[in-house]
Structure 1
Amino acid sequence: MNQPARSGLLGKSKMIGLGVMLGLLLVFSTVVVLVTFSVRNDIRLQMLDVDSHVLNLLVRNEIEQAEADAELVFEFESLGEVELWSALLETATLDGVFAVQYFDEAGELRQSSSELLVGHSVAESITHGLEEEGRHTVFSDELWLSDFADVDFSSDRRVAVSDIYLSLVSSDGNTDYGTARYLMDGSALAKQFSMLDLQLVRQASIAVGIGGALVLLIFWVAWKRLSEANARVLRHADRLTKANSELAMLARTSAVGSVTAHLIHGLKNPLAGLREVVSAGRSGEVELDEEEWKGASEAADRMQRMVQEVIGVLQDSSTGLSYEMESGELFRVLESRFTRVAEEQGIVFSVSGEGGVKMDSRVSNIVTLIVSNLVQNAIEATPESGRVGVTFSCAGPNASVRVEDSGKGVPEEMKGQLFSPVTSGKSGGAGIGLTISSQLAKHLGGSLRLLDTGEGAVFELEFPTEESFLEGVD
């Protein structure tokens, strides 16, 4: 990986790390705030419950006292509205009580110490709370004093009020007298709430500060270790990239060596024949006829063609340039090269298969070298009136070429070492043609094998249509 790319990757990693860190701080702070608000609400409810509990005890005591003064004898006897209201008025004289109201069992207002509160009734939500706990409190710090007390305009002000509802029952619990409502001064409670909020804010700030510092410390340590690990990974990636390039270069060099070996192998026999013709012509020992000179010329042409083909492959491999070719072009090359040669030997030569398959040009060139060697071997091994056929097929990213002949086939003793450099079955052969072709097939990422069909020889070349063996090399 080059330095600009690495610097960009490290910069991006730092931005990601900063974003993660800020995200963690935000999540932690949010959790602390939510927990603080939950605790605040619980404490406020407990503080409100204390006032309503104390007032409830006082009201029950007054009801018991009123029942005792009324000298109730039978269980079905209960306080009347007048006696009950008198007991409630006794509690209205307590410090901080602005007003008191009495509602019957149906929730309708029966008595009120303030004419300004006439018309009010018990809401259903409050009735539900009374059924569960026997008391319900609503706190507000934005009520005007004139809403429930007869005061001058100049004396009107906003006050904090605890609106407390109490269920009224007889001392034995058998009689439901209704509901009492008390409006009490909540200024002291408002101060306590304010002090509570201030204390909770301080504690939350301390928690966020200390917790945030710990989060940052843990994240910094983790990030440092992660950065060190990332740096090691980048170093390993650089070494792997370099090793991959070197391996690809070795593969390219090896492929070039195999192609060169193919050239040497292909030139050996034509050169030997040409040398014999030239030597005979010079010595004058043998007078060469037109056919022999024609054969010598064809051998020279064949060598020239092979040199050009190999040079083309080497140039493509060294420059890295490639382009698309279709399998039909491979068919035309094989037909132009071997049709006339086969006819001269009385052999039927044919090429068939899918002609529109696209291939990389470098792959196509090497495939042409391999198949040409196979076809040349097949023609030499096929007797007169025989046949040699080439069949091309494609399945997905891979393609295959079969070269079949109607000759005697490969002897059993040679099948085990067919692709090893041993003595050839042909006169004057070095036995390395198939070895080189197999090596070239491996460089393509494919394979070359002999198929056991029971008649003649059938060689199958399988290869990928893209140059996979050099993939990733620039």
Structure 2
Amino acid sequence: MLGGALLTILIFGAVVALVAGQMRVGLREQILRREADALAAVAALQLDTRAAEYGALPLAEVPGALLVTVLQAARYRGVVAVRVFDGRGNLNAADGIVGELPPPSPEDWRRVVAGESFARLSPVPSGDVLLVPPEDSGQVLEAWVPLRRTGAPAVAGAAQFWLESGAARRELEGHDRRLWVQALAGWGAGSLVIGLGLAWAFRRLTVMNAQLRARSADLERANRELILAAKTSALGSVTAHLIHELKNPLAGLELFVAGQAEAGRDEDGRELAEASALTRRLRTMVNDVVAVLRDEQSAGAFFLPVEEVPALALAKVRAEASARGVSLEASGAGGVELAGRRANLAVLVLRNLLQNAIEAQPVGGWVRLETYVGARGAVAFRVCDGGAGLPEPVRVRLFQPCASGKPGGSGLGLALSHQLALQAGGSLELERSDDAGTCFRLVLAGEA
């Protein structure tokens, strides 16, 4: 950003310098031409006066007439020397010159014969050809003036003046100073405006870039959720039939394993008892899924008090908590109702969170479920434990399918819980996870 701004300001400075240089050349030409135009105007007036004196006789044919006219025009302007040429470019007369000077250049003669007056700062002619050296030994003001009467179609000749350059140079230097001061001030003001404009533009670009990155991240997250939702939806449509088909065989398997466990009292009996407990847990999960599928078909035709949701979730995990020596705590408010479909989905989410929390506790640990009722019927559930916090891989890919750290785990628990929360019209978020424990928060918006 800083490099681009400096480059822009430098380019702007180069443009200002170029424009100021062109203006300087134009101003110098105008100031010097003004000197030549003043001489030309006086010379034209003198030519008109002399023409009246000589009548029809051409001035170029009167010896010294052109020189006298030129000297009358230049006697008050600090003339050092002068040469007069006739209309054909021949030297007619000279004053203040003691040597020879080269003839006018073709370009100078072309311009002056065309009626143009012009002047320039020139070096003092070498060789001491000037009778009276100028005060400034370095430069003189050289002016070319056409000698033409007022209204005449052609010039009668031309005059080449050498004048003192001090006044003209001082005026030019003053204009140069003012021009460069103004150019510097303009460059400074313009640079400030450019800097502020670029700073504002870069700031806007930074904000827009941050917004774009945030929206890209949101879009990526939404795409992941859509993909996961599509997968779970497809999985649900395929497994709905399987769930119903598993229900009756699981019930028979549970009765068989329970009977075998009662019959045996040795090591095999204990293993059968554990198998019976796992079978009973699996049947409970199947029944929960069947209930949710039934609620989907009934489109939420019944309502449950909000206080029954944590009670149902705790009832489903109480036996496992007791077996692991983990205490369950519950607190919260009531007063609102949830549609049956949303309530059952919330029970599934809370049960999964409670089960994860119980499995993370040592013997003597605790798990707490809190219920809050907010404005417009919104409900929030908090599941907290005193464990060691979530593993780093789980925190990094929270609510995304990942490898489970538990034996036999699929790594889909939190991801499916997040999807179930969305299906219930709510959200699931991690409040904290550190050495002091973990807290999840399930929020359900109020009924529309």
Give the TM-score, by structure 2 length.
0.46
TM-score, normalisation: structure 1: 0.44
